[in-house]
């Protein structure tokens, strides 16, 4: 991934030369995985997605090869989770530098194997290349029994915003790694929400994973749907505990755990109010208690409720700040803190 703001515009330019398949049911940026009608499939459609782990390795964020392997599977599985698909499997292409240590390679493979096992899926095939830098591309295929798949698009004003699990570990981990080279005690091991996504599928009006962080995800949902979001008081309870502690100690405002661009791969989804009670019951019956953190607004902006009052977050400016993130983390952090002061 590039930073989301750079990537969205870049992808639009890249794809302008490419005709779109008549079999494709989602428009550009409209779902986490591509939704394709395929003749001869009883359910009518498949979900397929591709994701490369490269910049996270370059920047030093994924220093452990095991994490590289784990994330190369999980990032793709999380896309399938966000559309509510059941994985058929994943293909993995590995670009490996010459003289890459054997034990590091073994750890990388173990990360791939562990992530597949955790998702109940398999590596179906792959490719290997020699390259200057390590990078791994996964491509995952998924299906559902009835062909119903979730998109980012479809929510309406008043729908309730949920998150599938604790938020902020991605950014707390990035903060720790990129300022100290150590993880600061943050266990960053996202687990694609496949089971949850398959339940969400039956109730939600829209869904997207937080692979680029929470506010970046909300920003995309805002643009795709032409609507806004309110993060209501109490959203802090959805924050990951150790991440909150780490950030507090560093005197960084908590909401910046949502603003950074390194995601936690949870799902953000919207449930129409009429479905909320049934959804809550169904989730609880599988032992899952997703956080209700806000709701969808008619007007296209993001509001954040804090003890001091309600702030409107300029998500466009946050996107633009992101352009510096990959190049210079310290500068990015400084800009984020300045953004916080100007917003507050």
* Contact positions vs its own copies (CB under 8 A): 1-2, 7, 10-11, 14-21, 23-24, 33-34, 36, 38, 40-43, 46, 48-52, 54-55, 58, 88-89, 91-95, 105-106, 109-110, 112-113, 116-117, 121-133, 135, 137, 139, 141, 143, 145, 326
Minimal distance, residue 83 CB to its own copies, in Å? 12
Check: CB of residue 166 under 8 Å from CB of residue 251. Answer: no
CA distances from 111 to 21, 122, 242, 293 (A): 34, 13, 23, 32
DSSP 3-state of 175: helix
- CB 134, min distance to its own copies, A: 10
Q: Which is nearer to its own copies, 66 or 162 (CB)?
A: 66
Helix (H) / strand (E) element for 143: namely strand 135-143
Calculate the alpha carbon distances from 139 to 37, 74, 91, 133 in Å: 18, 11, 5, 20
Query: For residues 36 and 282, which CB has a smaller minimum distance to its own copies in the complex?
Result: 36
DSSP string, 300-333: S-EEEEETTEEEEE-HHHHHHHHTTTTT-HHHHH
Q: Which is nearer to its own copies, 159 or 212 (CB)?
A: 212
Judged by beta carbon, residue 52 or residue 311, the one nearer its own copies is 52
What is the Cα–Cα distance from 53 to 73, expressed in whole angstroms?
10
CA distance 128 to 137: 10
Question: What minimum distance in Å lies between the beta carbon of 96 and its own copies?
Answer: 9
State phi, psi for 179 to the nearest 5 degrees.
-100, -30
Residue 204, phi-psi category: left (phi > 0), alpha (psi -120 to 50), beta (remainder): beta
Nearer to its own copies, 50 or 337 (CB): 50
Nearer to its own copies, 125 or 344 (CB): 125
Least distance to its own copies, CB of residue 205, Å: 22
């Amino acid at each position: 991934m590039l930073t989301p703001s750079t990537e969205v515009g870049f992808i639009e330019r890249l794809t302008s030369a490419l005709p779109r398949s008549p079999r494709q049911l989602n428009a550009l940026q409209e779902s986490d995985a591509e939704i394709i009608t395929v003749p001869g499939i009883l359910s009518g459609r498949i979900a397929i997605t591709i994701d490369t782990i490269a910049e996270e390795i370059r920047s030093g964020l994924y220093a452990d090869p095991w994490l590289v392997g784990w994330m190369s599977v999980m990032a793709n599985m999380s896309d399938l989770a966000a559309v509510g698909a059941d994985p058929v499997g994943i293909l993995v292409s590995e670009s490996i530098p010459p003289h890459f240590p054997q034990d590091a390679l073994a750890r990388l493979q173990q990360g791939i194997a562990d992530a597949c096992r955790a998702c109940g899926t398999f590596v179906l095939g792959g490719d290997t290349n020699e390259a200057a830098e390590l990078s791994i591309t996964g491509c995952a295929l998924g299906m559902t029994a009835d062909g119903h798949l979730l998109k980012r698009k479809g929510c309406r004003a008043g729908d309730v915003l949920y998150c599938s699990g604790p938020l902020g570990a991605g950014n707390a981990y990035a903060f720790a790694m990129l300022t100290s080279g150590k993880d600061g005690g943050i266990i960053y091991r996202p687990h694609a929400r496949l089971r949850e996504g398959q339940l969400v599928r039956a109730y939600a009006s829209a869904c997207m994973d937080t692979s680029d962080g929470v506010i970046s995800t909300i920003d995309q949902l805002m643009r795709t749907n032409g609507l806004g979001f309110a993060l209501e008081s109490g959203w802090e309870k959805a924050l990951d505990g150790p991440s909150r502690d780490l950030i507090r100690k560093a005197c960084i405002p908590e909401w910046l755990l949502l603003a950074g661009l390194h995601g936690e791969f949870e799902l953000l989804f919207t449930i129409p109010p009429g479905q909320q009670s049934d959804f809550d019951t169904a989730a609880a019956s599988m032992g899952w208690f997703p956080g209700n953190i806000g709701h969808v607004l008619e007007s296209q902006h993001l509001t954040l409720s804090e003890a001091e009052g309600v702030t409107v977050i300029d998500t466009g400016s946050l996107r633009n700040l992101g352009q510096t993130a990959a190049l210079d983390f310290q500068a990015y952090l400084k800009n984020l803190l300045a953004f916080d002061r100007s917003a507050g």
